[in-house]
Structure formats: structure tokens, C-alpha cells
């Protein structure tokens, strides 16, 4: 075949940006690229660099990229709700109102209710 230049194009059908990669922490291992069922990611052409979140609008929020990231606990990759899905909640005792992504959130829960404690599946320990 003739060599020719091909690009991959963003094809934005929704406005959400659910996948956040911290390029300072990410080592470019591409575990997320390889596990994503949709191919939301495109690997970086530079070895060791963070992949591109190329099709964020096609993400269906399954979270397996975070589960398989060896550095998810260190914040290499995270999922956040696009703001149209940002749920509100009320603290029962005080009546205070909060929202996902609010500027000054309460401290994270220290006693996760999932059996076995905090284990998002990161580092392959699902």
C-alpha cells in the first residue's frame, strides 16, 4: 500500500469529559488503552507519554480504565461525572446540601462500605 497520512478525528456528539488523565503521574503504559471496550483512548505516539482521550463522547462510564490502571490510586487516571449528571445530596444530621464536584466538598468517607475496604481494582487486584 502507498504510505499516506491518516489522522484520527474527534467526533463530538456529547459535551461530557468523563476521563481525566494526570500527565504528570501517567507513565504511558497504555493499560487503559488496551482494556477500554470502545477505544475511547488513542495511544500516544511518544513512548512513555499519556494516551489521548480521543473519543470522550463515546465513553459509557464503565470505569475499567480506572480499574486496570496500575497508578489509579496515585491519580494517573480518574473518572468524573459530566456535570449534567452531578448528583446532589443532603447530610441527614445537618441538612447541608452538596453536589458532586462542589468547590469545597466534605472530607471523603474514611470507612468505605465495600467489603474488604478501599479497593477499586487498581493494579490488577480486582
Q: Which is nearer to other proteins, 48 or 84 (CB)?
A: 84
- 2 near other proteins (CB under 8 A): no
The H or E element containing residue 31 is helix 31-35
- 92 near other proteins (CB under 8 A): yes
Subset of 27-56 contacting other proteins (CB under 8 A): 34-39, 42-43, 45, 50, 52-56
61-80 in b/e burial notation, b at 16+ Cβ within 10 A?
Answer: eebebbbbbebbeeebbbbe
What the block records as the C-alpha cell of 32 is: 487503559
At closest approach, how far in Å is the CB of 105 from other proteins?
4
- 83 near other proteins (CB under 8 A): no
Amino acid at each position: 500500500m502507498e504510505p499516506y497520512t491518516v489522522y484520527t478525528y474527534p467526533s463530538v456528539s456529547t459535551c461530557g469529559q468523563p476521563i481525566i488523565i494526570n500527565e504528570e503521574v501517567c507513565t504511558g503504559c497504555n493499560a487503559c488503552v488496551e482494556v477500554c471496550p470502545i477505544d475511547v483512548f488513542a495511544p500516544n505516539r511518544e513512548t512513555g507519554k499519556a494516551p489521548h482521550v480521543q473519543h470522550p463522547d463515546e465513553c459509557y462510564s464503565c470505569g475499567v480504565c480506572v480499574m486496570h490502571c496500575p497508578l489509579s490510586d496515585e491519580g494517573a487516571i480518574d473518572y468524573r461525572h459530566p456535570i449534567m449528571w452531578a448528583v446532589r445530596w443532603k447530610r441527614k444530621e445537618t441538612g447541608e446540601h452538596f453536589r458532586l464536584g462542589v468547590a469545597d466538598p466534605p472530607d471523603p468517607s474514611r470507612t468505605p462500605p465495600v467489603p474488604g475496604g478501599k479497593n477499586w481494582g487498581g493494579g490488577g487486584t480486582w
